[in-house]
Amino acid sequence: MDLHRLRNLHHPDLLRARIEREGVERTTLSFYRYVRLTDVEDLRNTIYQEWESLGVLGRIYLSQEGINAQVSLPTANLENFRTALDSRQAFQGVPWKIAVEDDGKSFLKLAIKVKKKIVADGLADDAFDVTNVGTHLDAATFNQKLEEGALVVDMRNNYESAIGYFDGAYLPKADTFRGAIDEVVEMLAERRSVDPVGRPIAAPQILLYCTGGIRCEKASAYLKHHGFSNVGQLHGGIIDYARQIKAQGLESRYKGQNFVFDERLAERITDDVVSTCMQCGTKNDRISNCQEVTCNILLVQCEACAERYAECCSPSCREIHLLPEEVQRAWRKGRSTRSTKTKAINDPEGLRRRIREEEEVLALNGTLHPELSNIIQRVG
Ligand SMILES: [Zn+2]
Ligand SMILES: [Zn+2]
């Protein structure tokens, strides 16, 4: 088998254009399952060919502990994809969640990766019972428990909850799952009432949620291991909550946008805007990446600031981004480019200070990158 063909190495713009040309309606969906998988490498190669022939694009993690998939495929092939999944015992009947807001361009290529874990959670699985998970709740029940005063906890990272969250939820400041769960355990421990020998006397109802439900599987088991007995989790995550709310005409207790890990970056759940532009401070929830490729940091950026800073996070990045491509390439030599989209500005005040300082230096010296003069002489 030609392993090289199992990879798709093309420029994003080319891939985007190809999807435009294709002109077929696509559906974005996600699913996961904790299930014992064997011969993971073989399985990867087989399903790559199978799914590629169905026009599937997306990001899939396979490991001995299961599968975690976010994909987009021609809507016409949904039924065949279902059949393909069901034909394998490990994936039989796996429930999938369909995105509510979809322009068909959520993924540009198909990437199936073999990993140690299907979620990089940083937890030692043998230290607690990962199968002792919380109660799965549907949207209506979740809403009702919120009404009854349950304590709701967001299990996502800070950059995800920045643009949307459940009303009144505890929002961890951490930017990793491991950091978030430690923070949550600490917060809950402070609120727990215990009897003289340290046993909890009242078990507060704790509700967890995340994007698609997968992180809550581990988080709820971990919390139960830490003595919190009354733990519920939003089944199917925010993605499926949005679908159920729509289908049943329920009120959405989730406000704003749902951060997603594909080209869309976010899908709108309600019209509420819960965040501010990190550059000018006005109410806004447009999330984007700094277009300077060695930076690529996530930020909330309003349209006016996107124009002012050429879609970049700072004057320094803007200066590089606006240079001719060959000068940029020469400048990038030896610098690492960030391929992940999972680092965000977490100090907007600091960013605004930096922008002010940089604009001053720029006005004074005409550049923020004195090293460029050599490069421009050489290539430009
Ligand atoms: Zn702005
Ligand atoms: Zn930047």
Beta-carbon contacts of 284 under 8 Å, excluding residues fewer than 6 positions away, are 273, 275, 276, 277, 300, 301, 302
CB-based neighbours (< 5 A) of ligand 1, an ion: 277, 279-280, 302, 305
Q: Could you give the CA distance from residue 69 to residue 46 in angstroms, rounded to a whole number?
A: 15
Question: ∠ CA(25), CA(27), CA(28), 5° rounding?
Answer: 145
- For CATH 3.30.70.100, list the domain ranges present in the chain: 3-114
Per-residue pLDDT of the chain (380 residues; tens, 9 = 90+): 444 444 445 677 778 888 777 778 999 999 999 898 999 999 999 999 999 999 999 999 999 989 999 999 999 999 999 999 999 999 999 999 998 877 878 898 999 999 998 888 888 878 888 888 999 999 999 999 999 999 999 999 998 999 999 999 999 998 889 999 999 999 988 877 666 666 665 668 999 999 999 999 999 999 999 988 899 999 999 999 999 999 999 999 999 999 998 888 899 999 999 999 999 999 999 999 999 999 999 999 999 999 999 999 999 999 999 999 999 999 998 787 765 556 888 889 999 999 999 999 999 999 999 988 888 888 76
User: Which ligand places an atom closest to the C-alpha of 344?
Assistant: 2
Of all ligands present, the nearest one to the C-alpha of 296 is 2
What is the 67 CA–ligand 2 centroid distance (Å)?
33
Candidate list 210, 295, 302, 317, residue with the active-site label: 210
**Known catalytic residue at 317:** no
- How far away, in angstroms, is 114 Cα from ligand 2 center? 31
Domain 3-114 belongs in CATH node 3.30.70.100: yes
Distance 305 CA to ligand 2 centre (A): 13
Q: How far apart are CA 258 and CA 131, in angstroms?
A: 27
Structure tokens at 64: 């001995």
Q: What is the 3-state secondary structure (H, E, C) of 18-30?
A: HHHHHCCCEEEEE
**CATH 3.40.250.10 domain extents, the chain:** 125-256
The pLDDT value given to residue 29: 94
Q: How many CB atoms lie within 10 A of CB 150?
A: 18
Alpha-carbon span 81 to 104, nearest angstrom:
17
Tokens representing 169 are 């939820």
- pLDDT of res. 1: 42
Give how far Cα 229 sits from Cα of 121, 123, 317, Å.
21, 20, 49
The structure's pTM equals 0.82
Q: Spelled out in words, what is the top-level CATH class assigned to the domain 125-256?
A: alpha beta
Going from the Cα of 316 to the center of ligand 2, the distance in angstroms, rounded, reads 7
> Ligand 2 centre from 250 Cα, in Å?
40
Task: List, in order, residues 6 or more apart from 142 with CB less than 8 Å away.
Answer: 207, 209, 232, 234, 241, 253
Alpha helix segments (H runs only) across the chain: 12-22, 40-52, 78-86, 139-147, 158-161, 177-191, 214-225, 237-248, 303-308, 315-321, 325-332, 348-365, 372-379
